[in-house]
Structure 1
Amino acid sequence: MPSTAAFAETAALMGDPARASMLTALMDGRALTAGELALAAGITPQTASGHLGRLATAGLLSVERQGRHRYYRLASPAIARMLEGIMAVAAGPADPPGPVRVGPRDHALRQARTCYDHLAGRLAVAMADRMVERGQIELSPDGGAVTEAGARFLQELGIGLEPAARRRGRVFCRPCLDWSERRPHIAGAVGAALCSGCFARGWLRRVEGSRAVAITPGGRLALERAFGLELG
């Protein structure tokens, strides 16, 4: 069990706005350079390097060297879960008083985004809801499981579970509380396989400079047909 001092140090590291911005920029699961993270945080590359060093030393980031560049990514899915949980708390009450106006980028993030290596937002929650309704997946506060019907459904989509099952050190299937919808989407190795499958088939594409993902015209038809959704 971590000491109180280690807990406080981790919380303090994430409490800095620049470091929080850099951690958030890495929530889509990709690795970024110090320069790219500096731009995301609105600080100089020199200042970013100092922040990144502290985050890496604390075990929040991992560093990969390729040629002359260093690439930073979240150290593990557990870090992404922690950040998503903080976002859910920071977002405030689920039903705030009065109308809330959000900009186009906020709308895109709420509609569909990546949460480290799996999908989040309204789309991901709707997919999870439909799979639960059909008895294809079981989600509870204690974890998740894919049923035989769910395994057949994913196989029909071309998403095999064997590679996901072989991923060591990963929870196979679990619910992840969506910070914008306040309801669970699918995480774990199964969530990652579903996310990568949607990208591989061209159903989704990344939005540059954002965690948001866009649904392609072909993807809209495919997802509506497969999950029985009305995406509009």
Structure 2
Amino acid sequence: MDEIADRAEDRAADQAATDRTEPELARAARLLASPSRARMLKALSDGRPLAVTVLAAEAGVSVPTASVHLTQLAEAGLVHAEHMGRHRYFRLASADVAAALEALAVIAPPDPAPMTTLRAHSRNHALRRSRTCYDHLAGSLGVALMGAFLDQGLLREKSDSVSASRPDQPAAYGRQANYHLTSRGSERFAGFGIDVAELVRGRRPAVRYCVDWSERRHHLAGALGAGLAARFFDLDWLRYGISPRVVHLTDVGKDGVRNVFAIDIAD
């Protein structure tokens, strides 16, 4: 009897430990269920810290209300606060938060509110054309780069990918894949000024992908995606737009992408 009682206590202890360690999906869902908090998280998805005043404007709420929302997000570990002088800034806690937001955007229904202003239409078009997804490129620009890298053999889909496509097919929405950097890709990216050896040695996977919510295809993430975007900014190929997340490929960038990677990006 004592042995049975001990086993029952062990099972109860194991269950209690599981209950403590399992993620609180309902809590995360409640935080994201607020349109104001969701708008602020989307604004932070380009990885840069933003002031409370900027986030309040993005969410369409007062600064005190935005501060309350941001405190709740910080307590849940979704954002981090930073103090710069007298001002307080917030950024996403990690790339995982940005990836979760991008994945949720894929299944989220479209905003039922019609776009009635030219500014709203222009911003929506700019987001779909080229934006940052935390620290890498997304939108039609990010998807075009990913497709070109696959076509040129700089990246390759491993044969163990689920529902792997033929080599002549682009990365597709709605399936899992496993991409890796080829020797040709290592040479090309190293020649572009990216420390490929450091990417491979790092803790972060060198090559990952996100399912792009606007294009419904894969764009390049991981350490390589981050390194590529950083290099684009360093060379002034890429500049931030006036709205959070929006980026623009400069004329120098268009020429550079064409000359270095043989990719012609349409306006």
Question: Shared fold by TM > 0.5?
Answer: yes
Shift of 1:3: 4.0
Shift of 1:66: 2.6
Aligned counterpart, 1:77 = 95
Residue identity in the other structure for 1:76: S
In structure 2, relative to structure 1, the CA distance for the partners of 1:91 and 1:173 (3 Å cut) is: farther
Native 8 Å contact 1:202 1:219 kept in 2: yes
Aligned residues: 222
Matched, 1:20 2:38: yes
Is 136-145 or 153-162 further displaced after alignment? Answer: 136-145
Correspondent of 1:130 among 143, 148, 151: 148
Report the TM-score when normalising by structure 1.
Answer: 0.89
CA offset digits 1:21-55 (Å, max 9, x no partner): 10000011101121221111111111111100100
Correspondent of 1:53 among 48, 65, 71: 71
Shift of 1:226: 2.4
Residue identity in the other structure for 1:150: G
Shift of 1:229: 2.4
Native 8 Å contact 1:113 1:211 kept in 2: yes
Secondary structure of the residue that 1:103 maps to in structure 2?
helix
Secondary structure of the residue that 1:229 maps to in structure 2?
coil
Native 8 Å contact 1:138 1:145 kept in 2: yes
Partners in 1 of 2:143 and 2:177 — Cα distance?
18
Aligned counterpart, 1:230 = 264
Residue identity in the other structure for 2:190: Q
Gaps of 5+ in 1: 93-101
Residue identity in the other structure for 2:265: L
Report the TM-score when normalising by structure 2.
Answer: 0.78
Aligned counterpart, 1:9 = 27
- Which of the pair has more CA radius of gyration? 2
Partners in 2 of 1:48 and 1:124 — Cα distance?
31
RMSD: 2.0
Partners in 1 of 2:40 and 2:67 — Cα distance?
11
CA offset digits 1:65-85 (Å, max 9, x no partner): 232222211111110000001
Native 8 Å contact 2:239 2:247 kept in 1: yes
Partners in 1 of 2:263 and 2:152 — Cα distance?
13
Gaps of 5+ in 2: 1-17, 111-119, 162-175
Correspondent of 1:210 among 244, 251, 255: 244
Aligned counterpart, 2:214 = 180
CA offset digits 1:141-162 (Å, max 9, x no partner): 3533211110111112222223
Native 8 Å contact 2:55 2:66 kept in 1: yes
In structure 2, relative to structure 1, the CA distance for the partners of 1:196 and 1:11 (3 Å cut) is: same
